[in-house]
Amino acid sequence: MLEAAGVAVFALTGALVAARKGMDPFGFILLATTTGVGGGTLRDLLLGRTVFWAQAPSDVILCSGVALTAWVIAYRRPTVLDGWGAKRLLIWADAAGLALFAVSGTQKALAAGVPMLSAVALGAMTASFGGILRDILAGDRATVLWSRDFYVTAAAAGAAATALLTHFGFGPMPVLAGGLAAGFGLRAGSILLGWSFPSLPGADAGK
């Protein structure tokens, strides 16, 4: 359920970007699906496992459903998905997907028996890679590669909290709550309060 939620939320962010770019229905499906399953695909490949969506079509169907629903809304009400509210929805949906995948990615890695630090790295990759693919395919600068905002840092915080709470024997709900709170909380603080690392002297922050 946790992974499915992450897939759906990240698929929504891909569909919102597709709406902003004025893509056709198949563009919506491609961008939503790539965003929704991209991080989990990288994780499974690095773990040497069969890619999760290749085993069953449910995740691809989910992404396609989100994409087509968004396309219908964009077609009938163009301003709904192309305004200030849509941009805010994209930002917050991305933050939610980041936190969900940081937790689920770390849990899958731990279940595969990898060391804790490796599990944290895989969790952060799972949370970040879908958004990177979305931005690159849409012709945008990948947020994670130029923004000083806490993005990968938030993903790593969610993954680390998940790994530590699991290591100390906490149950599923405290692990889930702690991982989501760390990942989403740090990203939310960056969005609302401007939390970020200081710029390097003379560096271009990209903003």
- Residue (of 31, 105, 107, 29) closest to 68 by Cα position: 29
Cα–Cα distance measured from residue 140 to residue 163, given in angstroms and rounded to the nearest whole number: 32
pLDDT at 202: 64
% of the chain surpassing 70 pLDDT: 93
pLDDT at 199: 73
Cα–Cα distance measured from residue 192 to residue 205, given in angstroms and rounded to the nearest whole number: 18
pLDDT at 146: 64
Cα–Cα distance measured from residue 13 to residue 59, given in angstroms and rounded to the nearest whole number: 15
Mean pLDDT of the chain: 91
Q: Within a 10 A sphere around the Cβ of 105, how many other Cβ atoms?
A: 33
DSSP symbols for 90-129: HHHHHHHHHHHHHHHHHHHHHHTT--HHHHHHHHHHHHHH
Cα–Cα distance measured from residue 188 to residue 176, given in angstroms and rounded to the nearest whole number: 17
Cα–Cα distance measured from residue 54 to residue 101, given in angstroms and rounded to the nearest whole number: 18
% of the chain surpassing 90 pLDDT: 76
Mean pLDDT of all residues in 124-146:
89
pLDDT at 72: 94
67 versus 203: the higher-pLDDT residue is 67
> Which residues are CB-neighbours of 198 under 8 A, at least 6 positions away?
none
Contact 7, 103 (CB under 8 A): no
Mean pLDDT of all residues in 5-16:
95
Contact 16, 23 (CB under 8 A): no
Q: For residue range 146-185, what is the model confidence (pLDDT) as tens digits?
A: 667 899 999 999 999 999 999 999 999 999 999 999 999 9
The SS3 of residue 42 is helix
Residue 205 pLDDT greater than 60, yes or no:
no
Contact 101, 36 (CB under 8 A): no
Residue 85 pLDDT greater than 80, yes or no:
no
The answer to pTM > 0.85 is: yes
DSSP symbols for 69-86: HHHHHHHH-TTTTSSHHH
Q: What band does 78 get if pLDDT is binned at 50, 70 and 90?
A: confident
Mean pLDDT of all residues in 22-41:
96
